[in-house]
Every structure is written in C-alpha cells, then in structure tokens.
Amino acid sequence: MPRPEATLDTAQLQAKVENAFFPSNHSNSQDHVGLELELWPFRTTPERGHALVPFQNEEGTGLIQLLQQLVGTLEGFTYEPKPDGTHIFKFADGGNLTFEPGRQLEYSGPPFATLTAAIQNLNHVIETLRCQLKNYDIWFFHSGLNPWYTVDEVGLHLTAPRYINMDRYFHTIGHYGRKMMRLSTSLQINLDAGDKATAQRRWLAANLVPPFFVALFANSPFIHRKAGGAYSYRSLIWQNLDPSRTGIQKGFLTPEYKPCPVQQYTEFALDANVMRLPQPNGEASFDGRFINFRQWMKDGYNGQFPDMEDWVNHLSTLFPEVRARGFFECRFLDAQSKVWCAVPGILLTFLLYNTEAREKTIDMLLPYRTQLPGLLQQAAVQGLEDEQIAALSNQLFQLALKHAGSEDRSLVALAEKFYENYTHRGLNPAAELLQLNDGKVFTPEQYRNFEKKQVDHAGELLETICEFC
C-alpha cells in the first residue's frame, strides 16, 4: 500500500530483484524446464462455422463450465478460484489452467527435471482436454494470433480491475495493447537461472537469441482476417506495445554492457511506467499520466509514495522478451502447432543448458547486441528472408543439435524434421500458413485439414512425446 512518506531506496529494490534471479527457496544447480502454452478454443457452429468458445453461457457449455464438469472425472484435477473471482484449475503435479481476456486458454506446466518430461506433460494435458471437449464440438487452434476475429468482435472477457486498468493503460499508448490482450497467444519456455556465475551468462545468451527464434518459429501472419505484412505479427505487437516495459531491455543496448543481471533489471524496472498509481479517492489506477517508478519513489504521487508491495506488483507488469521471475521466462515465441510446439524448447535448452553451446551462442551473437531491436523487428517482418538473420538462425539451429545429450535422440529427430521442413528451405511455420489459401486468411476447415496432415507426416517421431485421441 502506498504511504505518505518515502520509505524505499534503490538498494532495497535491487535486493528484491536479486531474489527473482537467485531465489533462496530453489536449488539453482538444477536445470529444470517449464512450458506454458496458450490456445484458442473454437466451437463448430451452424451460424458462423467457427466461434470462440465463451467462458460461460446459459446452456452450461462455456469453457469454464465444461472444465468444472471434469473435476472429479480427471484424476487430481481441481477447481480453485481465487478470492477475487479469478478462475484457476489445477493438476496434482502442479500444472494449472488459466484464462486470458480474449478467451484464450493457457496451460502452465510445472518445472520438470528433463525437457522430455516437460514436453510429455504439456502434450498429455492438451490432448486430454482435446479428447474431453471434442464431444462439445470444441477444437484448439494453435497460432500466435487469432486470425478470424477483430479486436472489437472479441471484446474483453476478464473484467477484474487488473485487466480493466491494463486495457486502459495500453490503449492510451496505442492500438497494440488491445491486440495483445484480445488476439495473441504465445509459447513460453521457463529455464532455471543457475548459480550466480551461470546466471550472468545464461541471462545474456537468453536475451541475444530472440530475433533468431522469432524468425525460425514465426507463426502469426494474419490479423483481422487479412495478412498483416509480417511473419510474426504477434512479435510486432509486443515490440511496439510499451517501449518502457516490452521488447529488448535498454540495458542490452548501451555501449558498455553491465554483466550483472540484477543491476540491469533493476534499472529497467525503475524506468518503466507505473500502471497503477494512488488516486485521491484511495484507489490505485491509471489516470492518463505516465510516471515511472523512479519518479514515483522520488517525488510521490498525489501525496503517496510506493512501498515494497508496490514494487513487487510493478515487477509483475513488466513484459520484456526475457523476464526474471525466480527463473528466466522466455516470452518471445508465437504459440506453435501441436506437432512442432516442442521444437523451440528443444533448441533453447540445448543452447542455454550446455555450457559450451551457451558460450558459443554468446560469441556468435554478442557483436549484434546493440542491434537487437532492429534485428527483432526485421525477424518479425521478413523472417528467414533476411539473409543475415537466416544465416545466424541456421548456425544457432545446428549448434543446438550438435550439443544435444545422448538421451535426447527422439527430440533431436523431431527438431531435425522441423529443420528439414522449414529452416533448411528458408521457411518458418508462418510461410506455410500463408500458402494454405494463396496468401489470404485460411478457413478453419483448411487449417484443421492442414494440421491433420502435419500429424500424419510427423508420424512415429511424435510417439514418444505425444498422444492423440
């Protein structure tokens, strides 16, 4: 809660950020992997042919209502809403289902000791839900953006104060905010920081690779029922959303890079605008004024100064390409198809968890550090058509495969299949989506037929990590 006098200093704030990199309750010697995937639940309907599934409806066939019916049917599956009404479904192993403002469904898997286990868990949960919900004509669309709806057609379906305020804040900046909240879906890969020495290098490597992963795995070429002029329009949205809190952090762009991730991230957070400021009526909200946390801490706002709780809340509203949350949350990927959703995690873990691969990644990409924003935009728009990005992306792909462990052969085979289908040919998944209907937005039927062919084509490569009903 804000206070009438200044109580914070930078050292206190940095100590809190340090825990985001080196949490005291976690063994950083472990190299765990966590995966989070957002999906679009659609229902086949006579009226529209396809429609986003509402969270709730009078017929009792809304997504949340149907999931509530699975409680007691699926072993270890529970419904545990928060006091503020936030809907959360939990699995016994620690994974959970949550929801986003545009009616997206998100599965957040727990951390696993191996990448294979994380991938198997993700696929098991998604396929279990697919099997249960297909009886209600519900199917999942995998892509970085909803291509068939406009922002206004979707609307805002989570109305807790946090989302209302965030919607107002982003809309004041520009049109990208509502596209992000209502139309976008991502694949997030969560990796351990490691010990302090490892974390500095792992953090640097993780922040150098986004342009090349965006180019490799772009999967959102359509928006508002037409081509958006970019292979990853979702990435463009995030890059332009709010320069103070999204995209490449400015600490990576200075001529003299500060290798301490804690110091760097603290400076980034201090310079980010605050979404909720104290108002004369005692509430905290965005009133149209942009004040960064550093200014609020120094000068106050409406006679109130931030406390540590405000700092923690502020940290939760930062969305850089890589975010520190007690682990490193890699946020730069479009949601991927059910056939290829494992491949980005395969490459990223091979590159960041193998010391030799990580150091070679840094050596390869560090000369481009101050060019990262331009490269990221170029990657989103041109993908692998850009010769420089294509060359570096190919090198990264091969470097990752070279440093795969002997126990990862099935994963390597799947990644090699992706490379053969796409990267080697200068393509990414978005390029294939653009071909489905000669550059026009594809129909749901075209997509579902395409997805089935993908599964059939991948064949036995998926057997060890996927199951299909």
Q: Write down the pLDDT at residue 1.
A: 62
Give the model confidence (pLDDT) of 222-274 as tens digits: 999 999 999 999 999 999 999 999 999 988 888 777 778 899 999 999 999 99
Residue ranges in the chain modelled with pLDDT below 70: 1-2, 24-29, 47-48, 407, 467-469
Number of domains in the chain: 1
For the CA atoms of 218, 133, 33, 403, the dihedral, rounded to the nearest 10 degrees, stands at -50
Nearest CA among 393, 443, 352, 321 for reference residue 44: 443
d(CA 331, CA 450): 26
CB 56 within 8 A of CB 103: no
CA atoms lying within 13 Å on the CB side of residue 69 = 12
In a domain, 331, yes or no: yes
In a domain, 94, yes or no: no
**What are the residues whose beta carbons fall under 8 Å from the beta carbon of 313, sequence distance 6 or more?**
276
Question: Tell me, what's the pLDDT at 7?
Answer: 84
Q: Is residue 241 part of a domain?
A: yes
Residue 267 lies in a domain: yes
Residue identified by tokens 């953006």 is 145
Rounded Cα distance between 358 and 365, Å, is: 11
Name the 3-class secondary structure at 96. Answer: strand
pLDDT at 62: 97
70 is a domain residue: no
**Nearest C-alpha neighbor of 343 from the set 149, 213, 161, 167:** 213
- Phi and psi torsions of 59, nearest 5°: -80, -10
The runs of H, that is alpha helices, within 149-232 are: 151-154, 161-173, 176-183, 196-208, 210-217
Pairing of strands 186-191, 328-334: antiparallel
Domain extent, residue 417, equals 10-30+142-456
SS3 427: coil
CA 265 vs CA 10, 18, 262, 323, 427: distances in Å: 12, 9, 5, 9, 34
288: left (phi over 0), alpha (psi -120 to 50) or beta: left
- Compute the distance between CA of residue 418 and CA of residue 343 in angstroms, rounded to an integer: 8
Q: Name, in order, each residue with C-beta under 8 angstroms of 19's C-beta and a sequence gap of 6 or more.
A: 326
Buried b (16+ CB within 10 A) or exposed e, 363-380: ebbeebbeebbebbbbbb
Q: Is 467 part of a structural domain of the chain?
A: no
Check which CATH number belongs to the domain holding 385 and give it. Answer: 3.30.590.20
Tell whether 50 is covered by a domain: no
Q: How far is CA 163 from the centre of its chain?
A: 17
- Which residues neighbour 125 within 8 Å (Cβ) at sequence distance 6 or greater? 91, 95, 107, 109
Enter the DSSP assignment of 357. H
- 294 located within any domain: yes
